[in-house]
Structure 1
Amino acid sequence: MHFHIVRALADGPASIWKLLRRTDGPIRHVYAACRELVAGNVIRHEAGQFVLTAGQHPVVAAASRRDFRDVKDQLAPIVRQAPGPAAEYFQERLVLEDLLKRLDFVYQRGDLAGRRLFVLGDDDLFSLAAALTGLPARVTVAEIDQRLVQFIADQAKRRRLEVETLHYNAADPLPKRFRRAFDVFVTDPVETLKGFTTTISRGLAALGHPGTAYFGLTELECPPVRWMAFQRMLHRAGLVLTDILRDHSWYVNEAIDEAELAQTALKRESPFQPLPPQDCLWYRSSFHRAVTVRRPTPPITGRVRFDKSFYSDRWVMTTS
C-alpha cells in the first residue's frame, strides 16, 4: 500500500481520489497508510493534495522507477549464454520481452522492492532479472537442473548480485531454513494435478503471511476443470486470486524441436499429417497472482514420488 501511494505521488501531487484510483485494497487501509507516510515525513498533505516531501527516502527511490530497459540490456547476453531447455524437466524459456513484462508486473504490484523472493524453477532466469534491478531484499532460486543452478550462481558472482542458489527437486520437502522465510514466490508450475499441487505446495511452504504467489498456467494443456481444481486448492490453502493476465507470457519453442516433436502426443494425435514446421510462437500462458489471507497451509508437506505422472498426463501433449 505504501509503495502504491508513493509511486502515484512520484508522478506529481494527487488528491485522495487519485490515490484511491491508483492503489489496491480497502479504503481504510489507504487512509492508514497515508497517515503513516505523513507521520514518517515521506509525504505531506496541503491544500487538498498529497505531495512527496523533499527528503531522501528509500521507498521513494524504489517506487520511482519507470522501466527496466537497463535490465534488458544486461540480461540479453546472459540469456544467450544460458544452457538450453531440457525437455525432461518440462523446460521452455520465456521470450525475453515477456520475462521483463512479468518483472514489471511484479514491480507494479509492489512485490519486488524490499521483498524477499523465492523462485522455484528458473530456466527463464527471473532470479537474475530481479536481482539486476537492485530492488529485492533477497533473491533465492531453487532449481532441479544442475546446469542452471551453476550458471545462475556463476553469473550472479560475476556481476556481484545477491542471488542464493539451491539444487532442489520439488518432489522433496522444502528444507527447513527456507520455510516461512519469503514474501513472494514465483514459478511456472507443472500442469498435472500432481505436479501443480506439489510445486505450489513448496512455494507456499516458503511464504509467510502476508505473502504473494505468482505462477503461469496455459489453456493448451490445462483445461478449465483443472483451473477450477487449482483455484479451489489455493482457496483451501489460504490464498485468493487477485489477477489473471490472459496470454501474458509467450515461449520460444526451443525445447520442442522437430525430433522431440515426433515423440509427442501433439504429433501422434494430429489428424492432419504430416505436421508442418513450427512457423510462429504459439505456446503461451496466463500469468496469475494470488495473495494470502492467512498463514498458508500447503496441501502437500511430505515427499512425493518423482515419476512420469509428475510431468505427464492425458492433457499434456508436448512431452514424450
Structure 2
Amino acid sequence: MLEELIVFTTVVEQSSLNKASKLLNLSQPALSRKIVKLEEEWGVALFNRNGKKLELTRVGHEAYLYALEQRQRHQNFLQSVSRFKAANRSTITLGASLTTLQTTLPPLVTALMNNYPDMEVKLLTGKTHEIVSYVREKKVDIGVIASSISESGLKCIPLFQDHLELVVPRGHELADGGPVAMGDLNDRSMIIFSKGTWYRKLIDEVFVRYGIIPDVRMEIDSFEAIVRLLPTCKSATLLPKSYLRKQLLKDNDLVTLPMKELEQTRRETCLIYGSKTNLSSEIKEWVNDIRSHLIQVLTI
C-alpha cells in the first residue's frame, strides 16, 4: 500500500495526473490504476473528477493527511536504517612502510575488500619503527612491516619470507644464459632503491660483504619507476621477490637472474597488532586467512 500512498500524495501535490506521471516515471494509466486501487480498498472516492481537473473529496483530505504521515514515517525509518548501517560499518586502519606499500599491501587490501566489501580501509604510512609505534599507540589497528619483531604487548604474525633478486632488461649482457655471480655486479650500471629502507640496507650489506662497488646511475624510492627505467638505462637492479610478478616482468620486458648470494638477503614480512586491541570478528577471521592467501598471490 505504501507505493499507492506515495502515488496518491504526489498526485495531490502536483494537482495533475500528467505532472505526477512524469515525476514518478509512471504512465498515466498505471498511475490511475493505483489511485483506483486505493479507492476500491477503502471503499470511498478520493477525488471528484471534473474532466481533467481533480478535486479532493472530504475523505480524500483525510486520506491525504494519513498518507503524509505514512510517508514521513517511512522516510524516518529509512534514515534510521542508514544511520544504523553507518554506525555498524567496520573500519580498519592499516599501517605500512613505503616499500611494503608497493609490495605486500595491494594484494593484502584486495583480499580484505573481496571478503568484506563494505569495510572502510584507512592507511597510515611510515618507516618500520614508526609503524611499530603507531600500533603500540593504537593509531593503527594493524601494521605490515618487513621484519619480525618480539615486543611485549604486540602480536607478530609471519606472512611470508622475501629476498632480493637481480633484475635486468631482456637482452642484457648478463642475461645470456650463463651463471651470474656477485662479482659480475662490480662496476655494473645499476639503479637502486633510495636510502632509508630495509631494502636499501640489505643491498648495501650484500655489496659490502662481497666487496662490490657498482656504478650507481640512479637512486629512486619507487619500484615502479625503477622497473620502467631499467630498459632505457640498460641497467640492472635488485628488487624484492614479492614485487616481481610474472606479468610485471613480461610487461616491462625484464627477466630475473638467480644468484645464490642474494638468497642470503632473506627477510620476513609480518603483520603486527596489539595483544589487547579489540579487533572485530571480521578482522580476526581475515588475519587468520591472509597468510595463505598472500603466499599464493606472491608466488604467481
Which structure has more relative contact order (CA 8 Å, sep 6+)? It is 2
More helix by share: 2
TM-score computed with the length of structure 1 as normaliser: 0.25
Q: Which has the larger radius of gyration?
A: 2
TM-score computed with the length of structure 2 as normaliser: 0.26
